[in-house]
């Protein structure tokens, strides 16, 4: 893990100050969408608390026994709890409750991080609430959630709540250039595609999906029967729907002679320019709506994924004359 946290400067300095002034709360609730950086910051916080190098400059040293043990997952005062299957189970909470009452063994506090706290059933949540009501003094629980609305208000009110937001474009672009040794053009394309979510940006870089890009087949295809094959491809990687929207948006930009800096897929500009005669503004806007609608359907209803994708592909392949 890198020593530098990307973004979330206010939250990081708030946590640093808490550690420095020894005013660490008994419970925190980090809320924000998947990949935004909650777990990275929570790990950083744990290292900050358990780092044994007292001369550190407000950041964990990464080399003392405490820091190394956290990194290797064998610090006796630190645990990260994730859903076991789809849920955080009552047994996992009971185990936490038993152990948290023992004093720390090597560090000055015990730290527990709960990932996806929203995946707790009521039994587990009520049980956790008991611990939050009477927290052992030398302990801190950090709850992470992608959906704060589903966390019991009684739990929320006992935590210091820290909301995590996607990063501003400029901030993420600069950070990516610094940490991954990529040029500004690539960094800014990745930033746009990632929606400001650091986790998305990093996985895009790891996939090496930027560079030589080719236009998605659905934009090029004219044969309606291709819809079924294309739907299958989208089903394998549903994240591609977000990417698809960015391609349509680029088409729209090209059509409106927008400055090239606005394009996400600048390396594919020639291919896109060849396609523009086939796409009117209305068709592009409708296509974007169709993709959004399909995403919503898949996310929020129990529609059969492949069916929704087939309908989407058929609609996207429909040019205006035939619609
Ligand atoms: Zn250290």
Give the CATH number, domain containing residue 140: 3.40.50.300
pLDDT of residue 55: 65
How far is ligand 1, taken at its centre, from the CA of residue 11, in Å? Answer: 20
Query: What sign does the dihedral 286-291-292-296 (CA atoms) show?
Result: positive
C-alpha–C-alpha distance, residues 46 and 306, integer Å: 42
109: which DSSP letter? S
Six-digit token pair at 88? 């955080």
Mean pLDDT of 225-253: 92
- Residue 224, domain extent: 212-322
Q: Classify residue 21 as exposed, middle or buried by CB count within 10 Å of its CB (0-12, 13-18, 19+).
A: exposed
Based on the domain organization, do 154 and 184 belong to the same domain? no
Based on the domain organization, do 105 and 13 belong to the same domain? yes
CATH number for position 262: 1.20.272
List helix spans (H) across 122-225: 122-133, 153-156, 169-180, 184-194, 198-207, 217-220
The 10s digit of each residue's pLDDT in 71-104 is 898 999 999 999 998 999 999 999 999 999 899 9
Give 202-219 as a DSSP string.
HHHHHHT-SSS----HHH
Q: Is 112 helix (H, G, I), strand (E, B) or coil?
A: strand
How far is ligand 1, taken at its centre, from the CA of residue 46, in Å? Answer: 10
Percentage above 90 pLDDT, the chain: 63
How many domains does the chain contain in total? 3
How far is ligand 1, taken at its centre, from the CA of residue 128, in Å? Answer: 30
Q: What is the pTM of this model?
A: 0.68
């Amino acid at each position: 893990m890198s020593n530098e946290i990307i973004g979330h400067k206010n939250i990081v300095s708030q946590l640093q100050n808490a550690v420095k002034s020894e005013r660490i709360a008994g419970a925190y609730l980090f809320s924000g969408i998947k990949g935004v950086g909650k777990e990275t910051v929570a790990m950083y916080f744990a290292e900050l608390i358990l780092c044994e190098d007292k001369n550190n400059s407000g950041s964990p040293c990464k080399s003392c026994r405490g820091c190394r043990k956290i990194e290797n997952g064998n610090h006796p005062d630190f645990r990260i709890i994730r859903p076991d299957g789809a849920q955080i189970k009552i047994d996992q909470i009971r185990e936490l409750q038993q152990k948290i009452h023992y004093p720390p063994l090597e560090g000055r506090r015990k730290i527990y991080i709960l990932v996806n706290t929203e995946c707790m059933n009521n039994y587990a949540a009520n049980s956790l609430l008991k611990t939050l009501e009477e927290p052992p003094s030398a302990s801190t629980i950090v709850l992470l959630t992608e959906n704060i609305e589903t966390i019991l208000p009684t739990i929320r009110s006992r935590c210091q709540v820290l909301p995590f937001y996607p990063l501003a474009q400029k901030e993420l672009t600069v950070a990516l250039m610094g940490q991954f040794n990529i040029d500004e053009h690539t960094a800014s394309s990745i930033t746009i595609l990632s929606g400001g979510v650091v986790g998305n940006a990093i996985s895009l870089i790891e996939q090496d999906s930027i560079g030589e890009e080719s236009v998605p087949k659905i934009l090029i295809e004219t044969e309606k029967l291709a819809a079924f094959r294309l739907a299958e491809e989208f089903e394998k990687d549903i994240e591609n729907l977000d990417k698809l929207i960015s391609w349509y948006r680029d088409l729209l930009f090209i059509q409106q002679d927008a400055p090239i800096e606005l394009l996400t897929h600048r390396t594919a500009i020639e291919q896109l320019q060849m396609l523009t005669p086939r796409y009117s503004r209305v068709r592009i806007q409708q296509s974007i709506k169709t993709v959004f609608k399909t995403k919503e359907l898949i996310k929020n209803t129990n529609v059969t994924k492949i069916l929704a994708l087939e309908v989407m592909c058929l609609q996207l392949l429909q040019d205006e004359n035939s619609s």
